[in-house]
Structure 1
């Protein structure tokens, strides 16, 4: 998702004339996404560099584009490098949390939700938060997102001085379709909620079994799903597990009008609705029943996820 959004940000003119996109080595999703991007007509001036094991540091006085603003390595880079400008692109639900922290109480550390941070890590997150706010005040921070940012939050972010830029995947929508679509009428997006211990595994698999018994289902895994869970998904009658790795926005943009996408609350729901609206494809968010949630699913997390549940079809049977 971050790699795709860098291409979109460059296409939108947010990054300047030339952008060097450097993926991390040995991460299969990045390798697969890079390979797919190379098959497309990249925006002029965007270079897909070879993967590197370490995080590259931007030359002094240049624009630095990052996705995971909660990474300790990225935050250390903010403090030790001197980028002229910082652009943050989408990293799923974490993007909304970042906007809330940026516009919230000064001094709140930039830490992942549910993270148990050490004092040293908290200190780094606090220093990174202050540096990010300073960049915003001086007009050197932009956030580039396709997510539905609530109006009040968007206004609060802009009051910090940060530039909030929304997009609708204009570059990707203009690319020719080169990948065959799945034959199944129903497409299900995998979820990380099971592996993260936020919903009960048996409830989720019971729902999938019901879908598979009703007709053929194409299942596209989430990049963080447990391999053992995926093997169990593939054992469900009627369900075919497809090879994952790339963002769903790239994999499924060629679906036909007679197909539908089902997903538990996810940021991919928003972007797929944008990409597939013109093709007449229905993208449905499945509301998570109360009994699915585990004790680890805090009310704040459920509230976050609810912003991606608009236009849904209700509770699974």
Structure 2
């Protein structure tokens, strides 16, 4: 990897780089989906993947990508602490559309196009806000925003909707988008492109699969205060008592919680950081994946269906939820529970 990227303003005198894209990624899923977007031809001839610095999961994912064959024209560059400022006319690729830094860049820069790749459940929320009232601010579902942050979110929403009207906004997702929502997004002028991890499916399997027949995906719901820790650990203990379980942590799980998970009978905690789509795509018939509602459920079903590996979503009992879990959040999560989501294709 090298430390500079054509099209990024870093104090050097680059000529304008036509047909290029800068992808600023802050999570392993964003990184993987940016690669898929370039492979799908959505970004242009040359793309530069810029990971945020000091994030171990991103470093681990980057190392794994380095062992695979990246699509032609895609370069993984050195990590940076802040989002780069692409030159005018360059395509900007981001995952977290609710980031204040990203929104500020939209307002102070002049991107040629904006491409938004998956960032978990937040992608669906973004689509819903995009088709809402014209003055609706782009803000996260949880947390309270002050007046300045709300004003920034409102201005960013106006800029994003203007990009959609002028045909300069694309959303690239593997998530199940309800058909009526997809229709409304396209009516705003945005391009909505769905994918099935075509690039990743074309790559050789290099990560050894776990020997356990049952694989559990970790969750961020405990750390986020949305489900009760003891209920979750009790469920894992019951699973482990029935047979060996391989546990693949969520990147945002609390390390102290992972210690307790590993203390449950029959549970082996594997290293985390790399997206489950990369680490578990080699599972074989006879194995199964269990998960609480998660965006990874959808993508793993795509990757594992041909291998005869079921990916099962575990319904969260009512008593598990805390008072922080709003009904709207539960409704959003339920869309990942079943195969038939009423979603739309590309």
Q: Shared fold by TM > 0.5? A: yes
What is the distance in 1 between the residues matched to 2:301 and 2:339? Answer: 10
Correspondence for 1:14? 42
Correspondence for 1:292? 320
Question: CA offsets, 1:147-183, max 9 Å, x none?
Answer: 0000000000001000000000000000000110000
Measured after TM superposition, the shift of residue 208 of structure 1 is 0.3
Q: 5+ unaligned residues in a row in structure 2: which ranges? A: 1-28, 341-346
Question: CA offsets, 1:52-96, max 9 Å, x none?
Answer: 112111111110000000000000000001001000000000000
What is the distance in 2 between the residues matched to 1:113 and 1:38? Answer: 35
Q: 5+ unaligned residues in a row in structure 1: which ranges? A: 313-317
What is the distance in 1 between the residues matched to 2:73 and 2:109? Answer: 24
User: Residue 191 of structure 1 contacts residue 222 of structure 1 at CA under 8 Å; is this kept in 2?
Assistant: yes
Correspondence for 2:281? 253
The answer to whether residue 304 in structure 2 is matched with residue 276 in structure 1 is yes
Correspondence for 1:48? 76
Correspondence for 2:271? 243
Greater shift in the superposed pair: 110-119 or 176-185: 110-119
TM-score by length of 2: 0.89
Question: CA offsets, 1:262-315, max 9 Å, x none?
Answer: 000000000000001111100000000111111110000000001001059xxx
Give the secondary-structure state (helix, strand or coil) at the position aligned to 1:228. helix
Measured after TM superposition, the shift of residue 18 of structure 1 is 0.3
What is the distance in 2 between the residues matched to 1:251 and 1:242? Answer: 10
What is the distance in 1 between the residues matched to 2:61 and 2:207? Answer: 13
Correspondence for 1:105? 133
What is the distance in 1 between the residues matched to 2:244 and 2:332? Answer: 31
Give the secondary-structure state (helix, strand or coil) at the position aligned to 2:115. strand
What is the distance in 2 between the residues matched to 1:113 and 1:29? Answer: 24
Question: CA offsets, 1:108-163, max 9 Å, x none?
Answer: 11111112111111110000000000000000000000000000000000010000
Aligned residues between the structures = 312
What is the distance in 2 between the residues matched to 1:156 and 1:243? Answer: 40
Taking the TM superposition and a 5 Å limit, the aligned residue runs for 1:193-272 are: 193-272=221-300
User: Residue 284 of structure 1 contacts residue 311 of structure 1 at CA under 8 Å; is this kept in 2?
Assistant: no
What is the distance in 2 between the residues matched to 1:293 and 1:239? Answer: 23
TM-score by length of 1: 0.98
What is the distance in 2 between the residues matched to 1:180 and 1:99? Answer: 37
Q: CA RMSD in A?
A: 0.8
